[in-house]
Amino acid sequence: MDFAAILAALLFFIHIVAFIAGGANSVVMPIMGPKLATATPEVRAQLFDIIDKLAKVGKFAMGTLLVTGVLTLWLKWNWSAPNAIWFWIKMAGIVAMLYCIVQNERNSKKARAGDRDAAKRSQMFGQLTGAAFAVVILSAVFAFS
């Protein structure tokens, strides 16, 4: 194995670890968010503390995925995925995920300000993010196999 192949394998490993961290976030956040709507002030504070920590992990994971994905595409695939159509479906899923994450961040600010409806909407944004995540997973399997 040459250096580029080893580097590509290590980057892909990091990509998978970040994928797992981000995926866990996609599962947990839709469960936590709706609890805010009916939580007491004390429990809300605890939930927001947990949500803030998970959001940091999720943002770091997404940034890591974007960087390692580009580098892996370059080093392992020379900028050309084996199946371009599925690759672009994967990219559309990533754009959808980023959109949902941004909308959930905006919604979270409203929830923090006491908007109970925003807390209820967080489940919807979490579910949409999870659906986009599933599209990314499925299309990645077809794009790179």
User: pLDDT digits over 32-76, tens only?
Assistant: 878 877 889 899 899 989 988 988 998 899 999 999 999 999 988
User: Is the Cα dihedral 126, 52, 99, 8 positive or negative?
Assistant: negative
**Domain total of the chain:** 1
Q: Supply the pTM of this predicted model.
A: 0.82
How far, CA to CA in Å, does 12 sit from each of 19, 67, 129?
A: 10, 11, 23
For residue 11, the domain's CATH number is 1.20.120
**In this model, does residue 136 exceed pLDDT 80?**
yes
| Residue with the two structure tokens 């290590």 | 10
**Both tokens assigned to 5:** 């192949």
Residues 102/62, Cβ–Cβ less than 8 Å:
no
Question: Distance (Å, rounded) from C-alpha 25 to C-alpha 122?
Answer: 13
Q: Could you tell me the residue range of the domain that residue 30 belongs to?
A: 3-143
